[in-house]
Structure 1
Amino acid sequence: MTHQTVTRCVPGAYASAERPRLPLSPWRHLVYVSAPSHPSGPHRAVPKSTKELAVPGFSYNGTITLSSSVKDLDASISWFEDALGFEEIFKAAEAGWAEVSTPAECVSIGLDQTDADAGGSGGSIPVFGVVDIDAARAELEAKGVKFDGETRELPGMVKLATFFDPDGNRYMFAQSLVEGAP
């Protein structure tokens, strides 16, 4: 079944503070935007323009899609929904493509069904910032998700735990240990 409605992030729109957010990992370049108060309650503003993200020759539209190769589109969608609580936001089965939401505004994961061996080596590793890495890991382990060894700690900086989807793609949880960091 192909969904006709596509949820997209719109720069300048308000994002509800009630939706859980996962900050980016602390060692990556972060862009913070302060939000004005909004009459309907506490909100966080998505950047009104991407000017501050522009580089000579092009500019960003404010969205990020991290693509992973998968063997079975439907099984992968189910895994992201069941294991991580993400939601399917777009699916084009005939093209072998789907996207699932993440708790971070304007960031989705693209699932590219391929006949080739999916997952495993190479490619990007999406990192999801969490408040309590031990709780996050325990929740996924209870759902049968496999982790790559023990949780690692860089004292005073970050705790990291790498886990795998059913196709062997790597993902990480990161908990900042820097005082005052998200």
Structure 2
Amino acid sequence: MTHQTVTRCVPGAYASAERPRLPLSPWRHLVYVSAPSHPSGPHRAVPKSTKELAVPGFSYNGTITLSSSVKDLDASISWFEDALGFEEIFKAAEAGWAEVSTPAEGVSIGLDQTDADAGGSGGSIPVFGVVDIDAARAELEAKGVKFDGETRELPGMVKLATFFDPDGNRYMFAQSLVEGAP
């Protein structure tokens, strides 16, 4: 089995016109990546495609949004554009929500405008895109995972369900209700 060594990473740039092909591991959903300087060792397995990953009972849709609380939605969008080169991909000012792209395919930063008087930062909440939120929620509830209330729906936009890991950290599932969205 041959391995590819990555020496430099520039978002959106490749050494050739074709994306590098990585060898498959014995497990269909993983590839081996050779990265001698990586802290986990020179060879580590990474998902081939999040769109191919599923667990019994529900499927992911290939997206993840890292949600952060912000005090000023427009100022935060500008900061991500100017400082990091990200692009605004969605904004619902009336809902106090926006998303900006990242260089990683399927990964975005969600900006959730909160009350300026709330104090402190709200941290980040990973939001996993799922195909069917009801199936995903039922599967986790059957495994004893605790949810924060009922599944919420923003009509025509998204369904959201917040759940907790054993340490009380928040995570969310999101099912897009927008036609044609992943």
TM bucket by the smaller chain? 0.3 to 0.5
Q: Following TM superposition, by how much is the alpha carbon of 1:64 offset from its aligned partner in structure 2, in angstroms?
A: 0.7
Q: Is the 8 A contact 1:54 1:60 kept in 2?
A: yes
Task: Assess, with a 3 A threshold, how the Cα gap between structure 1 residues 17 and 160 changes in structure 2: closer, same or farther.
Answer: farther
CA–CA separation in structure 1 for the residues paired with 2:91 and 2:4: 8
Alignment deviations for residues 33-75 of structure 1 (CA, whole Å, 9 cap, x no partner):
9999999999999999867411121110001111000000000
Task: Assess, with a 3 A threshold, how the Cα gap between structure 1 residues 57 and 142 changes in structure 2: closer, same or farther.
Answer: closer
CA–CA separation in structure 1 for the residues paired with 2:84 and 2:140: 8
CA–CA separation in structure 2 for the residues paired with 1:130 and 1:34: 30
Q: Is the 8 A contact 2:50 2:60 kept in 1?
A: yes
After alignment, is 94-103 or 119-128 more displaced? Answer: 119-128
After alignment, is 36-45 or 50-59 more displaced? Answer: 36-45
Alignment deviations for residues 4-38 of structure 1 (CA, whole Å, 9 cap, x no partner):
99999999999997999999999999767999999
Q: Following TM superposition, by how much is the alpha carbon of 1:106 offset from its aligned partner in structure 2, in angstroms?
A: 0.7
Q: Is the 8 A contact 1:9 1:63 kept in 2?
A: no
After alignment, is 148-157 or 115-124 more displaced? Answer: 148-157
Task: Assess, with a 3 A threshold, how the Cα gap between structure 1 residues 77 and 127 changes in structure 2: closer, same or farther.
Answer: same
Task: Assess, with a 3 A threshold, how the Cα gap between structure 1 residues 17 and 103 changes in structure 2: closer, same or farther.
Answer: farther
In structure 1, the gaps of 5 or more residues are none
Q: Is the 8 A contact 2:163 2:172 kept in 1?
A: yes
The within-5 A match list for 1:83-94 is 83-94=83-94
Q: Following TM superposition, by how much is the alpha carbon of 1:123 offset from its aligned partner in structure 2, in angstroms?
A: 3.8
TM-score if structure 1 supplies the norm length?
Answer: 0.41
CA–CA separation in structure 2 for the residues paired with 1:26 and 1:155: 43
Task: Assess, with a 3 A threshold, how the Cα gap between structure 1 residues 167 and 34 changes in structure 2: closer, same or farther.
Answer: closer
Q: Is the 8 A contact 1:162 1:172 kept in 2?
A: yes
Alignment deviations for residues 85-122 of structure 1 (CA, whole Å, 9 cap, x no partner):
00000000000000000000111000000105679667
Relative to its length, the structure with more strand (as a share) is: 2
Task: Assess, with a 3 A threshold, how the Cα gap between structure 1 residues 180 and 29 changes in structure 2: closer, same or farther.
Answer: farther
In structure 2, the gaps of 5 or more residues are none
Task: Assess, with a 3 A threshold, how the Cα gap between structure 1 residues 147 and 48 changes in structure 2: closer, same or farther.
Answer: closer
Which protein, 1 or 2, shows the higher relative CO under an 8 Å CA cutoff with sep ≥ 6?
Answer: 1
Alignment deviations for residues 137-176 of structure 1 (CA, whole Å, 9 cap, x no partner):
9999999999999999999999999999999999999999
CA–CA separation in structure 2 for the residues paired with 1:9 and 1:122: 31
